[in-house]
């Protein structure tokens, strides 16, 4: 279970229930996903960013009704590129089978997404002929933020997906850094 958090512009396309209760707790390792539209040259895109790790999937801004499925497909490709083992990918995608749509709520994540959007725009301008989505995702996985303690978001996401389910809060601090 997770929450797909959309900006007001995107939220209108989903026609959410205004009386909806608070979303249930997220069960995915990467947490809820914030989605924001961006313009990169002539391309309308969606920046889909994990709140826990800032890992970002970039999708074309069409077929909004299929956004949850398209996000899952894009995430699988991205996680494979980060050398996340298939069982960890499958577990994350299984937890993403159920989700709810709600408005964005984290100004911190949205602020970090401005930096990620600038990277996307720069990379898209450099790739004039065609877009190499895998290369774009690799570049975004190398993004560093004060929110990630200066670590690349791809490394943080990898570690988040690989931690033991019943890990104590201090377990991450004792684990060696790197992808092992």
Whether 151 contacts 47, CB under 8 Å: no
Whether 137 contacts 147, CB under 8 Å: no
- 42 vs 30: CA distance, rounded Å: 30
- 151 vs 33: CA distance, rounded Å: 19
Residue 145 binned pLDDT confidence (cut-offs 50, 70, 90)? confident
For position 17, what pLDDT does the model report?
61
Q: Between 145 and 59, name the one with better pLDDT.
A: 59
What are the domain boundaries of the chain?
A: 2-160
- 63 vs 24: CA distance, rounded Å: 26
Report pLDDT digits (tens) over 48-72.
Answer: 999 999 999 999 998 888 999 999 9
Outline where 5-85 has alpha helix (H): 8-14, 67-81
- 111 vs 98: CA distance, rounded Å: 27
Q: Is the pLDDT of residue 16 over 70?
A: no
For position 19, what pLDDT does the model report?
59
Phi, psi of 36 (to 5 degrees): -140, 135
What is the share, in percent, of the chain residues with pLDDT greater than 70?
87
pTM over 0.95: no
Whether 143 contacts 56, CB under 8 Å: yes
* Domain 2-160 listed as CATH 3.30.420: yes
Residue 142 binned pLDDT confidence (cut-offs 50, 70, 90)? very high
Residues linked to residue 99 through DSSP beta bridges, in sequence order: 2
Outline where 23-152 has alpha helix (H): 67-81, 86-95, 107-126, 133-141
Whether 23 contacts 102, CB under 8 Å: yes
């Amino acid at each position: 279970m997770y929450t797909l958090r959309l900006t007001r512009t995107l939220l209108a396309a989903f026609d959410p229930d205004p009386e909806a209760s608070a979303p249930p707790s997220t069960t995915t390792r990467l947490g809820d996903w914030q989605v924001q539209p961006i313009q990169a040259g002539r391309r309308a895109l969606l920046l889909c960013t994990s709140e826990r790790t800032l890992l970002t999937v970039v999708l074309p801004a069409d077929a909004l009704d299929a956004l949850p499925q398209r996000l899952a497909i894009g995430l699988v490709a991205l996680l494979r590129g980060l050398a996340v083992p298939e069982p960890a990918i499958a577990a994350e995608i299984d937890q993403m089978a159920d989700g709810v749509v709600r408005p964005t709520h984290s100004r911190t994540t949205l602020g970090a997404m401005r930096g990620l959007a600038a990277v996307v725009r720069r990379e898209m301008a450099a790739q004039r002929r065609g877009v190499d989505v895998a290369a774009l995702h690799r570049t975004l996985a190398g993004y560093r933020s004060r929110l990630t303690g200066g670590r690349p978001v791809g490394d943080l996401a990898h570690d988040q997906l690989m931690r033991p389910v019943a890990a104590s809060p201090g377990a991450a601090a004792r684990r060696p850094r790197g992808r092992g």
